[in-house]
Amino acid sequence: MHYGHALTFGTFLTPTATEPARVVSLATRSEELGFDLVSIQDHPYQPAHLDAWTLLTWLAGRTRRVTLAPNVLNLPLRDPAVLAGAASSLDRLSGGRLALALGAGAFWKAIGAMGGRTLSPGESVTALSEAIDIIRASWDVGDERPIRLNGEHYRVDGAARGPEPAHDVPLWLGAYKPRMLRLLGAKGDGWVVTHQLLRPGQLAEGNKLIDEAAVAAGRDPREIRRLLNVSGDFLGGPGEAWVDALLPLVVEDGVGTFILATDDTATLERFAGEVAPALREAVDRELPGTSLPPLRRAAVRARRREGIAYDDVPAALADAAIEPGDVGYAGVRSTYLRGGAPGLVLRPRTEEEVAEALAFARAHPRLPLSLRSGGHGISGRSTNDGGIVIDVSRLNSIEVVDPARRRVHIGPGARWADVAAALAPHGLALTSGDYGGVGVGGLATAGGLGFLAREHGLTIDHLRAVRMVLADGSVVRASDDENPELFWAVRGAGANFGVVTSFEFEADEVGDVGWARLVFDASDTAGLLHRWGATQEAAPRDVTSFLLVGPPRRGRPPVAHLMAMVDSADPETVLDRLRPFAEIGPLHDQSVVLTSYASVMANASPEAHNGHGEPVTRSAFAEHITPEFAADAERLLRSGAVYFFQIRAVGGAVADVPPDATAYAHRSANFSVTTFGVDRRRVDAEWDRLAGHLDGLYLSFETDPRPERLADAFPPATLRRLRELKATYDPGNVFRDNFNVTPERRSH
Amino acid sequence: MPDYGHDLLFGTFVTPSASPAHHAVDLAVAADRAGLDLVTFQDHPYQPRFHDTWTLMSYVASRTERIRLSGNVLSLPLRQPAVLARSAASLDLLSGGRVELGLGAGAFWDAIDAMGGRRLSPAQAVVALEEAIAIMRQIWAADQPGGVHVKGDYYAADGAKRGPAPAHDIGVWIGAYKPKMLALTGKTADGWLPSLPYLPGGPAVLGDLNERIDEAAASAGRSPSDIRRLLNINGRFGDTSTSLLNGPPDQWAEELAGLTLEHGITGFVLATDDEYTTELFAAEVAPATRELVAAERRG
Ligand SMILES: Cc1cc2nc3c(=O)[nH]c(=O)nc-3n(C[C@H](O)[C@H](O)[C@H](O)COP(=O)(O)OP(=O)(O)OC[C@H]3O[C@@H](n4cnc5c(N)ncnc54)[C@H](O)[C@@H]3O)c2cc1C
């Protein structure tokens, strides 16, 4: 009987309280010697021992690689709900290195003397079963309901779930008797037993009970690892004898992990040096090719979505892939602004893996496919329901390849805050958006309107080449010289043509900048808008400002926030540029600092995305803020349909580039206008009334699904050219999650 | 009121955020490097945004070298006292005597109850805390004969073994505001750890509260100086002085020295999650306060 588990080795150390340094050094030595696991016995009533949990946590701080486990943790003296949280903490702090091995309890008299509850063996198995449910529920942060589990021995009534562990912490159980073995088969992930305490044949009997219980619970027995504590004494004699003794336990009894109980360094060394490698070899000889990739628990597999060939995920991607039942799913299902429930998130690390992920996705043509870099898509719906997400956030390198020529290579998964921080030491910056959390992949394929736009243009204007994986899986480079048509399309409509895996930019020299925030009374909203627009148009290029006007608030006048960047390190220039802006309305508050572009961009939260629902936004460009437009904008704000209304200055360097030079064509506009609301129909109805003042749109800020918007995003000539190119590069329309340009139908 | 004459301790109160996982660890390491004496963490086991405080403290202890650690304060109702005593002794042994035990009787009873903890009235919780401290002290007194025997209303130990002995005398510090808790603090604790923002009348009430502790200490045959007075503080560094602990470091030093000399506070625990603030507190406030206090104590 074999369960396909790769063979691993651990140590089992005595936590002698009088010599704390000794057990710590045995643990670190275990790691150095290549053991996979360090385990510590737990007898909280034993004063000669260090507390196992405290010691394991200490060891987490002193090791880097080994898995840490109690062997086994005495449940009766630990509260399961608190233990679940403690286990998550230890797993997070250790970078996913905890295995939680539990025992139902023994030495009841000593437990009672500590003030613990004494249970009969039968009761203790029930209590353990309840505790497992509580622990698993606490870790299942994907379920947003509070935990309610009313057992005979433990009651949790309304506790919040979380924190989530860093990885799928295996729950191992110490079990000898049938009831425990059946519980293990139903709910455990590993069987921990001590060899000396077993009768001959007991492993096989135990396996049988476990396997039957597993199958009865709808599980695969291979989900359960079999771990055996073996003592150094048992392993007296030469190394070969040890191998001879252990081999049948693997081959016949399916043991996947041997845990060596010893406090003797020489024995550890001999085992690691002689026994472990020889045993591995012998097992490979006896059971060639039976080692399986880790199997997901039945409870995890039960949450899989229909129509996805989960078992066919390419090996290179399987490790990091996240499916709905997995730990970590809550952190990848949604994006910054959108709730989602994808069936599979593939997280390639390399260009080749991107191609593999894409091939896998192409084999599922009927499922939604989303592409994600930084997860800040507004138009780009980088999550979905039941489909596949290719998440390239791990392609996030930032490399200044040639400081003199200001050449920078950036992966799509990098965030703009990180880009700014990496370039700053070189005295460089790349014009980007205003928010440091946004990903390079989504922004640098669409445009890139930010605080350096008027002086330095759009992000795409600094793009010199891209590497990308096309719909057919081929990898190409596109630049002015190579695939120039594709390069044209990528700069404004990139999401329709492939997955960009690397961007080659030319950055600008940017020193400290002036950074101002002014707050105005916006009672006269229209007047303020108009005066700001005129001021901004009259200002030199080195100042770019955004005006955010709030809707009227109950009983209080609306306020407007102006944010402005002056690309100058000279305080006089900064103040000169800002002075006219301070006069556009009654000033509530102001702050001006000289700072780096990087510190302005360091404005994003590191938290995982947690969006809900669908964003409702509109976008457009305006040549000028005429009094008529300003008045209608005020009406929009008063309508109550929108909660966010922002106008950004563009123009300047953006307008230096001819409209047909890139797929982003709206070069002449001086302003980009964006709004957010809640109710799609109300927002659209109100916004559509502004149409006379507006022209075109910036696709990255638009979520109106009506087909006319495509014509707003791309003027006729641009759209025609894009559709022809789409027919060449993505005739099957694989890439359709963001302002989809359908391919030109060819008449052959 | 008196200055109880203890040396001064300066520390931080760091949010035990679970995400990013090492946020609190990094701040504790910064406090250690900056030369602070103490780093402390609140304990709310029912709060999923936070790490388990005992686990976090154990991990932080293994990643720091000199700094002492304490819960600020540990929520007793969700921690088994005998297990906690051995855990604390274990961490004290592992860390070379760097653990203190800040304890609270419990708050947020609905959340405790939802976790399966026992709901107690405030008065019951004070009694429970006293019983728990008795158990813990007996466990630590490994050189005493016999087992641990405490027959309390809420906690009992009946013949549990003593030990392990911690590496140093672990201080039991109590977060107390109300008369019963203050009395318990005077009767049995090694330290008092209230929070300045929770003191209804600000520092002015410290005199009254100290007096209650002192009286309870005296009636238990203890000296008031057996109880170190610590204080959690909030503040902000700035160029100009605006209010208490809102201003430049030398203003802080004067105000803190005032708290030491007038109210006997000798542990200042600053709530901050900011490395720069931590460093400024260690580099500028702590030495200046120490100097002012030393000068005054010399007379
Ligand atoms: C808070 C916030 C602030 C913003 N500020 C600005 C701003 O100041 N200026 C500005 O110009 N925009 C701004 N945006 C819009 C932003 O640029 C876009 O939403 C962009 O698509 C986000 O990129 P991402 O990689 O984070 O998003 P993701 O959600 O990962 O991707 C969005 C879409 O981009 C496409 N895409 C992603 N990666 C790739 C790739 N590697 N290859 C090809 N296509 C890809 C896909 O179609 C995907 O659906 C902002 C958005 C938010 C949410």
Q: State whether A157 and B59 contact (CB < 8 Å).
A: no
- DSSP string for residues in A247-291: HHHHHTT---EEEEE---HHHHHHIIIIIHHHHHHHHHHHSTT-P
A20-43 pLDDT, tens digit each: 999 999 999 999 999 999 999 999
pLDDT band for A552, please (50, 70, 90 cuts): confident
| Centroid of ligand 1 to alpha carbon of A701 (angstroms) | 9
Taking the Cβ of residue A718 and every Cβ of chain B, the question of whether any pair is shorter than 8 Å is answered with: no
Residues B183-191: what's their mean pLDDT?
98
Residues A77-85: what's their mean pLDDT?
96
Mean residue pLDDT across chain A: 95
Residue in chain A lying closest to B131 (CA) = A115
Using CA atoms, how far residue A270 sits from A25, A273, A538, A639, in Å, is 17, 5, 80, 79
Its CATH architecture, for the domain A513-595+616-702, is 3-Layer(aba) Sandwich (3.40)
Its CATH architecture, for the domain A398-509, is 2-Layer Sandwich (3.30)
What is residue B133's predicted lDDT score, i.e. its pLDDT? 98
| Centroid of ligand 1 to alpha carbon of A493 (angstroms) | 12
Ligand 1 atom closest to Cα of A412?
Answer: 41
How far is it, in rounded angstroms, from Cα B238 to Cα B251? 10
Q: Which of A391, A410, A435 to mutate to test the pocket of ligand 1 (most atoms within 8 A of CB)?
A: A435
What is residue A317's predicted lDDT score, i.e. its pLDDT? 95
Taking the Cβ of residue B157 and every Cβ of chain A, the question of whether any pair is shorter than 8 Å is answered with: yes
Going from N- to C-terminal start, the domains of chain A cover 8-286, 298-391, 398-509, 513-595+616-702
Taking the Cβ of residue B54 and every Cβ of chain A, the question of whether any pair is shorter than 8 Å is answered with: yes
Tell me, yes or no, whether B30 lies in a domain.
yes
Residue in chain A lying closest to B93 (CA) = A20
The closest CB to that of A61, out of B46, B59, B78, belongs to B59
Contact A476, A370 (CB under 8 A): no
Q: State the amino acid at position A454 in one-letter form.
A: R
Tell me, yes or no, whether B2 lies in a domain.
no
A176-189 pLDDT, tens digit each: 999 999 999 999 99
The candidate with the shortest Cα–Cα distance to A320, out of A296, A342, A350, A347, is A347
Q: How many helices, marked H, and strands, marked E, lie in chain A?
A: 25, 28
The candidate with the shortest Cα–Cα distance to A461, out of A448, A479, A450, is A448
Residue A458 has pLDDT above 90, yes or no: yes
Residues A506-526: what's their mean pLDDT?
97
B206-226 pLDDT, tens digit each: 999 999 999 999 999 999 999
What is residue A240's predicted lDDT score, i.e. its pLDDT? 81
Residue A234 has pLDDT above 90, yes or no: no
Residue carrying structure tokens 């808008």: A529
Contact A709, A723 (CB under 8 A): no
A352-392 pLDDT, tens digit each: 999 999 999 999 999 999 999 999 999 999 999 999 999 99
A292-334 pLDDT, tens digit each: 777 899 999 999 999 999 999 999 999 899 999 999 999 999 9
- DSSP string for residues in A389-403: EEE-TT---EEEEET
What values do phi and psi take at A595, rounded to 5? Answer: -155, 180
Residue carrying structure tokens 């002290």: B137
Lookup: tokens for B185: 């603090």
A450 lines ligand 1 (CB under 6 A): yes
| Centroid of ligand 1 to alpha carbon of A517 (angstroms) | 25
| Centroid of ligand 1 to alpha carbon of A433 (angstroms) | 9
Q: State whether B55 and A89 contact (CB < 8 Å).
A: yes
pTM over 0.95: no
What is residue A587's predicted lDDT score, i.e. its pLDDT? 96
Residue in chain A lying closest to B158 (CA) = A113
**% chain A with pLDDT above 90:** 93
Lookup: tokens for A512: 């400290």
What is residue A68's predicted lDDT score, i.e. its pLDDT? 98
A522-540 pLDDT, tens digit each: 999 999 999 999 999 999 9
What is residue A235's predicted lDDT score, i.e. its pLDDT? 60
- DSSP string for residues in A145-165: SPEEEE-SS-EEEEEPP-PPP
A391 lines ligand 1 (CB under 6 A): no
Using CA atoms, how far residue B60 sits from A37, A62, A212, B25, B63, in Å, is 22, 11, 44, 6, 5
Q: Which of A338, A372, A381, A621 to mutate to test the pocket of ligand 1 (most atoms within 8 A of CB)?
A: A372
Residues of B in contact with A161 (CB under 8 A): 48
What is residue A182's predicted lDDT score, i.e. its pLDDT? 98
Contact A747, A378 (CB under 8 A): no
Testing the interface with A: which of B41, B44, B53, B94 to mutate, by most A Cβ within 10 A? B94
A584-633 pLDDT, tens digit each: 999 999 999 999 999 999 999 878 888 999 999 999 999 999 999 999 99
Contact A58, A29 (CB under 8 A): no
ipTM above 0.90, yes or no: yes
- Per the structure, the count of domains in chain B is 1
In this predicted structure, which of A130-139, A548-557, B113-122 has the lowest mean pLDDT? A548-557
Contact A449, A648 (CB under 8 A): yes
DSSP bridge partners of A589: A519
pLDDT band for A236, please (50, 70, 90 cuts): low
Residue with CA at minimum distance from ligand 1 atom 18: A377
Shortest alpha-carbon distance between residue A18 and chain B (Å): 8
B231-284 pLDDT, tens digit each: 999 999 988 888 999 999 999 999 999 999 999 999 999 999 999 999 999 999
How far is it, in rounded angstroms, from Cα A216 to Cα A218? 5
Q: How many helices, marked H, and strands, marked E, lie in chain B?
A: 10, 13
Three-class DSSP category at B9: strand
pLDDT band for A273, please (50, 70, 90 cuts): very high
* Residues in chain B, total: 299
Residue in chain B lying closest to A83 (CA) = B52
Residue A233 has pLDDT above 70, yes or no: no
Helix, strand, coil tally for chain A in percent (to 5)? 35, 20, 40
DSSP bridge partners of A402: A407
Mean residue pLDDT across chain B: 96
Taking the Cβ of residue A305 and every Cβ of chain B, the question of whether any pair is shorter than 8 Å is answered with: no
Ligand 1 atom closest to Cα of A701?
Answer: 15
Three-class DSSP category at A569: coil
Taking the Cβ of residue A110 and every Cβ of chain B, the question of whether any pair is shorter than 8 Å is answered with: yes
Q: Which CATH class is domain A298-391?
A: alpha beta
What CATH number is associated with residue B42?
3.20.20.30
Residue carrying structure tokens 């300045």: B196
What is residue A747's predicted lDDT score, i.e. its pLDDT? 59
How far is it, in rounded angstroms, from Cα A235 to Cα A634? 84
How far is it, in rounded angstroms, from Cα B228 to Cα B240? 32
Q: State the amino acid at position A78 in one-letter form.
A: R
What values do phi and psi take at B100, rounded to 5? Answer: -120, 155
Residue in chain B lying closest to A151 (CA) = B116
Taking the Cβ of residue A108 and every Cβ of chain B, the question of whether any pair is shorter than 8 Å is answered with: no
Annotate A648-701 with three-state secondary structure.
Answer: EECCHHHHHCCCCCCCCCCCCCCEEEEEEECCHHHHHHHHHCCHHHCECCCHHH
What is residue A606's predicted lDDT score, i.e. its pLDDT? 79
What is residue B248's predicted lDDT score, i.e. its pLDDT? 95
Helix, strand, coil tally for chain B in percent (to 5)? 45, 20, 35
Q: What CATH code would you report for A8-286? A: 3.20.20.30
A101-138 pLDDT, tens digit each: 999 998 999 999 999 989 999 999 999 999 999 999 99
Range(s) of the domain holding residue B47: 9-298
Tell me, yes or no, whether B1 lies in a domain.
no
Contact A636, A675 (CB under 8 A): yes
Residue A574 has pLDDT above 60, yes or no: yes
What is residue A288's predicted lDDT score, i.e. its pLDDT? 85
Taking the Cβ of residue B146 and every Cβ of chain A, the question of whether any pair is shorter than 8 Å is answered with: no
